[in-house]
Structure 1
Amino acid sequence: MTGAARTETSENRQVAALPWRRGADGVEVMMITSRETRRWVIPKGGRMVGKTDPQAAAQEAYEEAGVQGEMLETPVGHFRYAKRLKSGAEQACVVAVYPLEVLIQLGGWPEDQQRRRRWMSQAEAAEAVHEADLAELIRRFRP
């Protein structure tokens, strides 16, 4: 089997941050738009050489959402989605989600011209995502 075929048929492991804060009405989650489809997602990306998975998730939160804070070392759960590749094929991905309590929200960040970000209630964030298991993870998250 070639590397390209294996990449498209095997499950790719990724990491994500669930940026959260305590708002006046309870826990709020920072959602960002994806670059391609502009739908609401959480910051995520591939695992990184030389970084633990929580460190990689924190890096994604900084690059994609412009937030920094205290990251838990243990994921609160996982979700699956199909990533559309440039070839048109889909790749199955499983994403470990690490909670990040936001302590710093930057005015400018690496992808600020490519994405929008917005604080949402947990219920609103769960409704905004397309992946059912991510929605459930957001709904049941308790810091």
Structure 2
Amino acid sequence: MIEVLRKFWGATLAPMLQRPKRLQVAALCHRTKGDDTEVLLVTSRDTGRWIIPKGWPIRGLKSSEAALQEAWEEAGVRNSKATPAPIGTYTYDKRQSTGWDMPVETLVYSVSVNELSEEFPEAHERTRKWVLSREAADMVAEPELQMILRQL
């Protein structure tokens, strides 16, 4: 009987009680240096861990355009283009002010960086750093994002 209840919980009831994942968009900003690809990482505002620029979709903008907006606000990326389709996705749990975690699925858009501005909206709140893509994979916490970075 316990096994029947466990199967029912795992296959039917638990999935029904889960909250749906929220959606974010991210910009995987990169440049080529010789034979190497470098990725632009920024620190998160709350914990200071290394991330790629990301945020919530913006009404009136395509997802790729919203990812570019996040790249500008969080990293100072200017005059660059994002791929029209995401190059991958990753999930993570976003900690809320209430203390609860919210599951988030993040669409990742490739952004070839042409220009960086020293002045941008979150310049005083974040640190940014160019690193080799394989090093970036070791610096970020999300396993699915690590896989995307290792494939560059």
- Normalised by the length of structure 1, the TM-score is 0.91
Distance of 2:71 and 2:30 partners within structure 1: 11
1:107 Cα deviation from its structure 2 partner: 1.1
1:97-121 CA distances to partner (integer Å, 9 max, x unpaired)? 0000000110110000000000000
Distance of 1:130 and 1:56 partners within structure 2: 23
State the percentage of identical aligned residues: 38
1:71 Cα deviation from its structure 2 partner: 1.1
2:110 corresponding residue in structure 1? 99
Q: Which stretches in structure 2 are left out of the alignment for 5+ residues?
A: 1-17
Q: Which stretches in structure 1 are left out of the alignment for 5+ residues?
A: 1-7
Matched, 1:49 2:59: yes
2:134 corresponding residue in structure 1? 123
1:70 Cα deviation from its structure 2 partner: 1.7
Distance of 2:33 and 2:96 partners within structure 1: 37
Aligned to 1:39, which of 49, 62, 69? 49
What is the identity, as a one-letter code, of the residue corresponding to 1:123?
Answer: R
Distance of 1:86 and 1:54 partners within structure 2: 28
Over aligned residue pairs, what C-alpha RMSD do you find?
Answer: 1.1
Matches within 5 A, 1:1-16: 9-16=19-26
Distance of 1:18 and 1:94 partners within structure 2: 15
Which SS does the other structure have where 1:9 is aligned? coil
Q: Which moved more, 1:90-99 or 1:23-32?
A: 23-32
Aligned residues: 134
Distance of 1:80 and 1:101 partners within structure 2: 23
1:10 Cα deviation from its structure 2 partner: 2.0
Matches within 5 A, 1:66-105: 66-68=76-78, 69-105=80-116
1:74-103 CA distances to partner (integer Å, 9 max, x unpaired)? 110000000000000000000000000000
What is the identity, as a one-letter code, of the residue corresponding to 1:17?
Answer: A
- Normalised by the length of structure 2, the TM-score is 0.86
- Deviation above 3 Å: which 4+ runs of structure 1? none
Which structure is larger by alpha-carbon Rg, 1 or 2?
2
1:9 Cα deviation from its structure 2 partner: 2.3
1:59 corresponding residue in structure 2? 69
Q: Larger % of strand: which?
A: 1
1:41 Cα deviation from its structure 2 partner: 0.1
